Every structure is written in C-alpha cells, then in structure tokens.
DNA sequence: ACATTAAGTGATT
DNA sequence: AATCACTTAATGT
C-alpha cells in the first residue's frame, strides 16, 4: 500500500510534504513500535497492517486498549508528542506493518496550514476516545464473557477474517485475565455454537 | 519416540 | 473470577 490511497483524504500539497518529510518504515510482526516511557519523535500513519495499543502496569501486565488500522494514526502520540512527554502506552506490530513516520515538528505547522490534516487528527482522536470510553464501560460494567465477545469481534474486524490466530493465553493477557478462565468461557461459546475452537485458532460463527 | 506447548478440569480461595 | 495442581491432546524435533 502507498500514499496514493490517501488521495481522497489529503490535498496534493500535503501529500507532497508527507513524501518529503515522512520516513517510510517497515516493521515485522511483534516489533515494538513504541514502549512505555519512551518519548515520541515521530507520528506514525499506518499504511498497512495492524498495530495493537495496550496499557502496561507496573508489573508488566498488559491490557488491550485498541487496534490501529491502515489510514489511521495513534491518538496517544498526537497528545503526548506535543509536550514531549513519555508514552503511557505500548504499541506493538500485530502483523507486518508499514507506516509513514511524520516528524513531530511538522505537526504544528500542518495543523495550521492544512485543514485536511487538522480534521484527520481530530477524527482519529475522536474515534479513539470513543473506543476508550467503550473499553472503560466494559471493564466497569460488563462481565468478562461480554468483554471476550467484544474482543473477538474487534480482532476479527481488525484483521478482516473470522478465523482468528490466537492462543487462549494470549487472549488472557490482552484481557488481563487468566488462561483457564478464557478457556472455560470459550468453551461455553463453542457449546452455544458461536465459535469453533482449534489449537491456536478460533473460528467465529455468524451468530456471534 | 520424546519434549514442548496448548488446552481441559477440579478444587480452593 | 483467579490461582494451583494436574491431566490430556496436539505439535515439533
């Protein structure tokens, strides 16, 4: 995928500037793009692949926040790059990822000069903020089984497939739960004909 | 065939 | 819902 796919979003002048100032980067699956406490030097704009953004507590436990898909950027980076504050989150390449790194200095300038950049930034912040609210709702009010269903749907949407390649323990880590609990919940879902379980794979059925 | 890793189960808190 | 201890099943070498 390339910058051309942004034609409908940004004006040509901005696209030119992105070509000049942006650094094309290619990450392998599992690469850590940004870890906790690191300071941000670039704004990533995802060209292809999916990035997983998660919160990490003092013991190293992770909690999934959201996925960043192509044509999106990470809302957290916008807010903390401007003040050069350390990252509160960890961003990992969920699969092989290509992204365009925009130097933070360009941010301010583009915000003023290019309305499309401005609305792009606002759009991604609003989208992420809404997702965060949903996640908070889930943790505060929903049971783990509902969180799990949401997680599977989310994952399926992010990777555009109903066959999910994940072990039970990976899921448990993302949801800050334990493997046994996830296994038991998944088994219930399987009995309800909502998924089919394999080793390291979960097939989502329509009824989910 | 053996070791390793994923998943299933029951008991305990 | 989490943790432990243990079993069973699948997969890699």
pLDDT score, position A2: 65
Q: Is the CB of A187 under 7 A from strand B?
A: yes
Q: What is the DSSP letter of A6?
A: G
Separation in Å: C1 C1' and A130 CA:
27
pLDDT score, position A142: 77
Q: How many CA atoms lie within 13 A of A204 on its CB side?
A: 21
Separation in Å: C4 C1' and A76 CA:
38
**Same structural domain for residues A119 and A198?**
no
- Taking C1' of C1 and every protein CA, the nearest residue is A181
Domain boundary among A91, A119, A140: A140
pLDDT score, position A80: 67
- The percentage of residues in chain A with a pLDDT greater than 70, rounded to a whole number, is 97
**Same structural domain for residues A158 and A180?**
yes
Task: Name the 3-class secondary structure at A63.
Answer: strand
pLDDT score, position A143: 85
Measured CA to CA, the distance from residue A49 to residue A158 in angstroms comes to 9
Give strand letter and number of the nucleotide nearest A169 (CA to C1'): B6
**Same structural domain for residues A173 and A157?**
yes
Separation in Å: B12 C1' and A180 CA:
15
**Same structural domain for residues A7 and A57?**
yes
**Same structural domain for residues A79 and A34?**
yes
Q: Which nucleotides of C are covered by protein (CB under 7 A)?
A: 1-5, 10-11
pLDDT digits (tens, 9 = 90+) for A139-176: 877 789 999 999 999 999 999 999 999 999 999 999 99
**Same structural domain for residues A163 and A85?**
no
**Same structural domain for residues A121 and A149?**
no
pLDDT digits (tens, 9 = 90+) for A45-102: 999 999 999 988 777 778 888 899 898 888 887 776 667 778 888 999 998 999 999 9
Give strand letter and number of the nucleotide nearest A181 (CA to C1'): C1
Residues in CB range of A139: below 8 A, 6 or more apart: A147
Domain that holds residue A161: 142-204
**Same structural domain for residues A72 and A160?**
no
């Amino acid at each position: 995928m390339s910058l051309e796919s942004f034609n409908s979003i940004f004006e040509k002048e901005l696209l030119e500037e992105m070509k000049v100032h942006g650094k094309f980067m290619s990450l392998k699956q599992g690469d850590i793009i940004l870890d906790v406490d690191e300071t941000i030097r670039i704004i990533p704009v995802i060209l292809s692949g999916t990035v997983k953004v998660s919160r990490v507590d003092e013991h190293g436990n992770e909690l999934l926040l959201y996925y960043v898909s192509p044509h999106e950027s990470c809302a957290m980076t916008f807010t903390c790059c401007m003040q050069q504050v350390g990252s509160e989150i960890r961003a990992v390449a969920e699969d092989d990822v290509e992204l365009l790194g925009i130097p933070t200095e360009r941010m301010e300038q583009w915000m003023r000069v290019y309305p499309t950049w401005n609305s792009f930034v606002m759009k991604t912040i609003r989208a992420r903020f809404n997702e965060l609210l949903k996640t908070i709702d889930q943790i505060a009010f929903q049971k783990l089984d509902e969180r799990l269903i949401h997680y599977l749907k989310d994952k399926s949407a992010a990777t555009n497939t109903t066959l999910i390649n994940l072990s039970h323990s990976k899921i448990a880590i993302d949801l800050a739960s334990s493997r046994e609990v996830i296994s038991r919940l998944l088994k219930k879902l399987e009995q309800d004909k909502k998924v089919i379980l394999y080793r390291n794979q979960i097939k989502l059925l329509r009824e989910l």
